[in-house]
Amino acid sequence: MEAVIDIQINKVETSKLVNFSLENIPFGKYFTDHMLEADFEDGEWKNVEIKPYQPILFEPSMAALHYGQAIFEGIKAYKNEQGEAYIFRPHDNFERFNISAARMCMPTVPEEIFMEGLRQLVKLDSNWIPQMDNHSLYIRPVMFATDTVLGVRPSDNYKFMILLSPSGPYYTTPMKIYVEEKYTRAVAGGVGFSKNAGNYAVSMIAAKEAKAKGYDQVLWTDAFEHKWFQEVGMMNVFFVIDGVAITPTLDEGTILNGVTRRTLITLLEEKGIQVQQRKISIDEVIAAYKAGTLQEVFGSGTAASVAPLKALGYRDVHIEFDLNNATIANYLANQYKDVIYNRVPDNNGWLYKL
C-alpha cells in the first residue's frame, strides 16, 4: 500500500508519560499524547492531522447528537519481549469499519487515511504500548456526522478520529451471565452487524437489570422467540458441547463479525477442534447441561480477548462452570496471548509490524 495522503504532524512538547505508569492501568481511562483527526467536507476527505490529544469543539446542533450517525472500531497494539511493536489484524478492522459506514449511510474512509494514519499515530506514541501480559495499547477509530442542521437525512460532513488508550484487562474476573428475554439487541435487517454507537446504547438497560439480579452481563437472544443466541454482552459467544465449539452464525446480520471470533475459529481448527457456525438455542444448551455435555461457555472480543463464563442463568436454571476444567477456553486464552505477543510464528499474517 502506498501512502498518498499528506498527514500533518504536530507533536507535543513534553509527553505525559513523564508522570505516568503503564502498570495496572484500567481499560479505556487514559489517553496518549496524540490523536488523528480528519474531516469529510465537500465530498472529499481533507485536513488530515496528527495533533496533541485535546477536546474538540462542536455546535449543539451537530447531527451525530440528534440522529446517531456514529461508528467506531476497536484494535490493539502490543509489544513483544524484544520491545518490537505490532498492531493485531488492523486491515480486518479497516474493512469492518467501512462496512459499518456503508450501513449507516456514511462515507467510507480511504485506506491511506485509516491505515497510514493509524501506523504513523501508533508509531509516534509507541512508548505508550505496555510491555506486559494482559496489557495493550487500545486503538479507537471513530467517525461521526458533523452537519449543523436539524433534519433526518444523512449528513454531508463527517469527522474521523483515532484515539489511543494504554489499557489493562477489560474483565478482571470471570463473568456471570443472564439469558435476556425481554430486551432485544438486534434483528434481521437491522444494524447488529455494524459497530455503531446505538447498538451499545440500547444494551445498557439490560445489563443494568442483570446486575441487579446478581449477574455481570446478558446473553442476547433473537427478537421473535427469545431463544436463539446472538452475542454475550459486547462480545461474540462460544459454547463447547461434547467437545465441539459452537458459535452463532452471522447469516442473519444480527451479530458482529468479530476479528477475535475469526482468530479463535482459526486457532481451534488448527488445534483439530471441530467448530460449528450455526444457530444455537437456549433449549439446546439447557438439554446439553442436563445431559452433562455442556462443558464451557466463553466470550470473545478485542477488549476482553477470551472471557470464560463462570455462571449462566436462565429463568429458574442456574449453571455453574468449573473454570479449572475450561480446557478449550484456557487453551485459546494462552494461544491467543502467544500470537498477539509474537511468542509463536505468525503463520497467518495477523501481526502488522510498525
- In tens digits, what is the pLDDT along the chain, a chain of 354 residues? 444 678 999 999 999 999 899 988 999 999 999 999 999 999 999 999 999 999 999 999 999 999 999 999 999 999 999 999 999 999 999 999 999 999 999 999 999 999 999 999 999 999 999 998 889 999 999 999 999 999 999 999 999 999 999 998 888 788 999 999 999 999 999 999 999 999 999 999 999 999 999 999 999 999 999 999 999 999 999 999 999 999 999 999 999 999 999 999 999 999 999 999 999 999 999 999 999 999 999 999 998 899 999 999 999 999 999 999 899 999 999 999 999 999 999 999 999 999
What is the pairing mode between strands 244-247 and 275-277?
A: parallel
Instruction: Characterize the bridge pairing of strands 75-79 and 85-88.
Output: antiparallel
**Grid-cell match 480477548, residue found:** 305
C-alpha span between 87 and 130 (Å, rounded): 13
- Cα 235 to Cα 69, 136, 219, 221: the distances in Å are 22, 18, 9, 13
Residue 337 and residue 264 in contact, taking contact as beta carbons nearer than 8 Å = no
Domain 8-169 has CATH 3.30.470.10: yes
Architecture of domain 175-340: Alpha-Beta Barrel (3.20)
Q: Nearest 5°: phi and psi at 14?
A: -135, 130
Question: Count of CB atoms within 10 A of residue 6's CB?
Answer: 8
Beta pairing class for 294-301 and 275-277:
unpaired
Q: Which has the closest alpha carbon to 76: 267, 335, 259, 201? A: 259
Local structure of 251: helix, strand or coil: coil
Domain boundaries, the chain: 8-169, 175-340
- DSSP per-residue string spanning 171-208: -SS-EEEEE--S--S--TTSSTTS-BHHHHHTTHHHHH
Which candidate, 168, 137, 122, 140, places its Cα nearest to that of 73? 140
CB atoms within 10 A of CB 152: 7
- Helices 90-103 & 111-124 angle (0-180, nearest 10): 130
